[in-house]
Amino acid sequence: MEFSSHLLPILLLALSATAVHGGIYWDWGGCPDVTTKADFDIEQYLGTWYQIARYPAFFQSDDESCTQATYSPSEKGDNYVDVLNQGLLADGSVDSIQGEAYVPDPSEPGKLLVRFSPYAPAGDYWVLDTDYDVYALVHSCSSFFFFHTQIDWILSQQRTIEETALNQIYEKLRAQGVSTEPFMFTSQTNCPFM
């Protein structure tokens, strides 16, 4: 059967406008036009941050709980931090990976890059906003032709966030053009490895 180019627009319209496929969120068009925290201070960001919610991501199991990231000073000096990501898998084992994050351009301190292997390219880790305690909003997005893939995280230095604060966080995200619909909440209870 010959495929007609006239059917392509109909086929595209038949697809969902937003979707999660293969463990990754994607949407039509380019990445949202976001701004990062202009006065972001990497030193204040050090410590352990608990994952409250996240977009679907192919590199993280949907049933992972107790997910956290610990940022510590790096031997590489200013604008670099060591990263240790940990999470509890359904079978009770701990999944962990070490890497580094760094600020490539000090004039944009909220636009970090993160790398977990010397053989892989660094990915965006943009801090949209944080109060260095209750919340941090982290964003990563890549555009391809006529669609983009996106991952967003809500982190806290506490294991839970009150509903009032969460609603304020959602307002901040929506104001940046970031959809709150794809968020998946992470269980932060019964975390034995901590």
Domain-embedded: residue 171: yes
Q: Is residue 16 in some structural domain? A: no
Q: What is the pLDDT of residue 139?
A: 92
82 within a domain of the structure (yes/no): yes
Instruction: Determine what percent of the chain is predicted with pLDDT higher than 70.
Output: 82
**Per-residue pLDDT band at 3 (split at 50, 70, 90):** very low
Examine residue 6 and state whether it is found in any structural domain, yes or no: no
- Paired tokens of 124: 């965006």
Give the CATH number for residue 39.
Answer: 2.40.128.20
pLDDT(17) > 90: no
Q: Is residue 13 part of a domain?
A: no
Q: What are the tens digits of pLDDT across the range 111-158?
A: 999 999 888 889 999 999 999 999 999 999 887 888 867 889 999 999
Q: Which of 134, 114, 133, 131 is nearest to 122 (CA)?
A: 114
Its domain, for residue 36, covers 22-185
pLDDT (0 to 100) of residue 19: 41
Given a cut of 60, whether residue 16 has pLDDT beyond it is no
Residue 158 lies in a domain: yes
Model confidence band, residue 106 (pLDDT cutoffs 50, 70, 90):
very high
State the pLDDT at residue 68. Answer: 96
What is the SS3 assignment for 44? helix
Residue in 60, 46, 30 with CA at minimum distance from that of residue 132: 46
In total, how many domains does the chain have?
A: 1
100 found inside a domain: yes
pLDDT (tens digit, 9 = 90+) per residue, 69-78?
999 999 998 8
Structure-token pair, residue 33: 């036009």
For residue 5, being part of any structural domain is answered with: no
Q: Residue type for 110, please? A: G
Is 11's pLDDT higher than 90? no
Query: According to the model, what pLDDT value does residue 10 have?
Result: 27
- Residue of 40, 13, 20, 18 lying closest to 29 (CA atoms): 18
Chain centre to alpha carbon of residue 30 = 17
